[in-house]
Every structure is written in C-alpha cells, then in structure tokens.
Chain A
C-alpha cells in the first residue's frame, strides 16, 4: 500500500478549501440577479459541475482510443475513472439545472437539447457500467469498455444536433436556451470562472484518487489469484 503522494495530499486540502471559498464567493460576493433572485446562485455550481462532466467525457473518449492502441490496462483504469466521475457530475449538473429550471422556466424538466443530451449521456454511462459488470476477463472488459466509449462518444454530438433540430422545427414552449440570455455583471462572470477553476481542481483530485483506487483493486485481484493458486 503506497501512501498518497505529497502533491495529492496538497490537492485534497486545496479542494476542500477552494470549494469553501467558492461557496462564500457565490453567496457573499456575486450580486443577486434581478429577475430570478436567489435561485440564480445555483447557476454557478451548475455550470461548474457540467464543465467537470464534460472534461470527464472527453478524457474518457481520448483514453479509450489510447487503450485500444497501446493495450495497457493502466489506460482502462483511467477510462473507468473518467466515466464514473463524469457520470456523477453530470447527474449533479442535471439536478442543479432542475432546481434552477423550476422557478426560471416553471417546470422541473424540459426537452431542451442540452438537458436531453445530458440525460442520454447518463444512460450511455450506465450502459457502459452494466457492460463492464457482465464481463469477468479484465482484458476483454477493458476492450469492450473502450469500444463502447468510442461509439457512445461519437453518437452524443449527433444526438445533440438531432435534438436541437427537433426543437427548432417544433415550437419551443418554454424558453429553450434561456441560460445564455442572462445578462451577467463583472462580479458574476468572475464568480463563474472561479467556480469552474475550483471544480477543475476537485476533478483532478477525485480523478487521481479514483485511478489509485483502480490500481489498488487490480493489486487485490492479483494477490487473490496468488493465494488461490
């Protein structure tokens, strides 16, 4: 059992402190939005978590290709870590978006392209995890996982485009794409950027931990095999 590297320990502390600082900034520094009021505060976390989900999604797709080329199981652990983190953060982003949409658009859920695509992406991730669950051989699990990540990663942009087209031809009842019409003051933009930076740090920390966890799990597996033989 190797101890956590010094840099990771620093990141742990930094993540907690910066998250606290970001929360203070959102509630004390950023002004209250005139139209939507207090609920608009959720927007900062919503954008930041969606950002982390997006990074995880892109890393997963790139790493999947690297795995298929190199066949090094190390990349599979990274692929799984990226997918899991992306799954959780997109879920948080959808929940936060829902909390925001209720007062802003008058509904918890709307078939807005980004929202729908995020939901479908969640389904792809869940399918990915189910696929992995059904395979014992680690090498085959890694291969299938990588292939499915690539197929899913390519279908998501097309899904987004098709849903967008779907919406523009149909009448949009509830202000689709309303988020970018928000007029932000300088303080708001700063708060948003700080939040994105903070969540990026949190992402790196979690990512690192998850990869380490994957490595440990592999070690345990090998030790178990040694014991039984």
Chain B
C-alpha cells in the first residue's frame, strides 16, 4: 500500500532513462534478438519459479486426475463408450485444468506486484504477453504429457498417435493464446478467478469443437479428408488470436 507512490515515481524515472537507451541499443544491434530474449526471460522466470515451488503444476495435475476419475463414474466409461468419449473427456479435462493454471499464473503476478515490475521493464509489452503465453502453454503441455499416458493406462486406450499429439499441441496453443489475454483482464477485476472461465469458454468453443473432432478422428482412424478441416480451423484460430492478442495486450495492462 505505502510503497505504491514510490513505485510510480521510480517508474517515471525509469521510463525517462531506461526506455530510449534500450530502444537505441536494440535498434543499433539486432532488434529481434532483444525482443526474443525478453520473451524468453519472462517465460523462463515463470518456469524457474514453478520448478522451485511446483504449486501450479501439482494443483493442475491432481485436478486433472480427479476429473478423469469423475468421468469414469459419471459416464460409466465401458469399452464401447470409451472410443466415442475419449477425445471429449480429455479436452474437458485440459480446458478445466487450463483455467486453474491461467488464473494462478496471472494472480501471482498481480498479488505480489510483479506485474508492475514487469511493466517497468524497458521492453515492448507484447514481449511480456508472449512470455506469459509460452509459460502457460508449457504448463499445459506438461500436464497433457502426464495426463495422456495416464489416461491410456487407466482406460486401456492407445493415445500415442502423432496426429493426436499434433492436435493437442495446436489446441493448447490457441487455448493459451486467448487464455493468457483474458486471464490478464480477469485478475484485474473484482470477481477475479470466477470470471476467467466465464470469459474464456464462450470464445474458446471453436478450439474445443475442432480439437475434439480432430482427436476423435485420429483415434477412430477416420480418413484424413475428414480430419483436415478441423485441423485447419485450429490453425486459423491460433493465427488469428495470437495476432489479436499481440495487438490488444497493450490495452489490457496499460495503467
């Protein structure tokens, strides 16, 4: 509370001194590598913190396993039902576990005032977005990398299909791209954690529909011609929303 005026006075000093200098040096040298380094620094910061605390990943993992167990009892996943439902059950699990991770990764930044610190850094703000998006994506992929084999073992379904893994990757990219943007907004509201799924799920529906259909296509051995449109939707969604988030992220963190 008390140190907030101090921080702002620091920020004005920094933005006067730090920014032009950084802009100049990056313009003289390689501008792309400076940006890339900032992105990776933000992502690495999250991953390193997570490696030490392991609070986020463990919560996501335990939650995912619980969802899988609930699916077993709720849907009576016998052999016949399994083939039809597997893709849906997996994506529901990923979507729910994903909101846990997104909420946590953004509220950590907000609560401890780290977001302000990040914003003071003399880098383009979209670098912060990409850094956060990459770390969120990494958390999702780690959870998926554990849930998929676990699901295979628990339900005796072979999920190791390169196509399925590709779909999981593309779906997670779209999910993390939109999720990071919306989580950055929702943590700044009064309702916070409650709001993220409400904001995220209606706009993520194309990803979920396409990912579920493509995954179950690969699992049931459907023809490529049936699967391609879904993969295309996933790719289009990823490209559009990464571009949009890149353009509007400034407005979300602007103070």
Contact = CB atoms under 8 A, between A and B. Distances in A.
B22 interface: no
Interface stretch (B26-34, B97-105, B122-130, B229-237): B229-237
B195 A134 contact: yes
Contacts of A115: none
Grouping DSSP codes into helix (H, G, I), strand (E, B) and loop, the A interface class, with mixed when no group exceeds half, is helix
A148 interface: yes
Given A166-B209, A169-B213, A154 B240 contact: yes
Contact of A162 (B202, B203, B210, B226): B210
A158 B181 contact: no
Interface stretch (A44-52, A78-86, A122-130): A122-130
Interface string A123-148: 11011001101111000100110111
Contacts of A23: none
B205 A143 contact: no
Q: Which 10 pairs show the lowest CB-CB distances between chains A and B? A: A134-B189, A158-B206, A155-B203, A134-B190, A123-B202, A134-B191, A162-B209, A162-B206, A124-B202, A127-B198
Interface residues of B, number: 35
Interface in B189-238: 189-192, 195, 198-199, 201-206, 209-210, 213, 226, 229-230, 233, 236-237
A131 B206 contact: no
Nearest to B190: A134
Contact of B185 (A147, A155, A169): A147
B248 interface: yes
Interface of B: 178, 181-182, 185-186, 188-192, 195, 198-199, 201-206, 209-210, 213, 226, 229-230, 233, 236-237, 240-241, 244, 248, 251-252, 254
Given A150-B244, A151-B248, A154-B241, 6 more contacts: A130-B198, A133-B190, A144-B252, A155-B205, A162-B233, A166-B213
Contacts of B195: 127, 130-131, 134
Nearest to B229: A165
A59 interface: no
A99 B172 CA distance: 39
20 contacts: A123-B201, A127-B198, A127-B202, A130-B198, A131-B199, A133-B190, A134-B189, A135-B188, A135-B190, A143-B251, A146-B251, A151-B248, A154-B244, A158-B206, A158-B236, A159-B205, A162-B205, A162-B206, A162-B210, A169-B213
A151 B249 CA distance: 11
A16 interface: no
Contacts of A126: 198
A124 B200 CA distance: 9
Contact of A152 (B198, B202, B237, B248): B202
A123 B229 CA distance: 26
Contacts of A54: none
Interface of A: 68, 120, 123-124, 126-127, 130-131, 133-136, 140, 143-144, 146-148, 150-152, 154-155, 158-159, 161-163, 165-166, 169
A154 B239 CA distance: 12
A150 B245 CA distance: 10
A146 B252 CA distance: 10
Nearest to A139: B254
Given A131-B195, A165-B230, A151 B178 contact: yes
A124 B182 CA distance: 13
B231 to A, nearest CB: 12
B209 A151 contact: no
Given A162-B233, A165-B233, A151 B244 contact: yes
Given A155-B206, A158-B233, A150 B248 contact: yes
Given A120-B202, A152-B202, A159-B205, A147 B248 contact: yes
A68 B185 contact: no
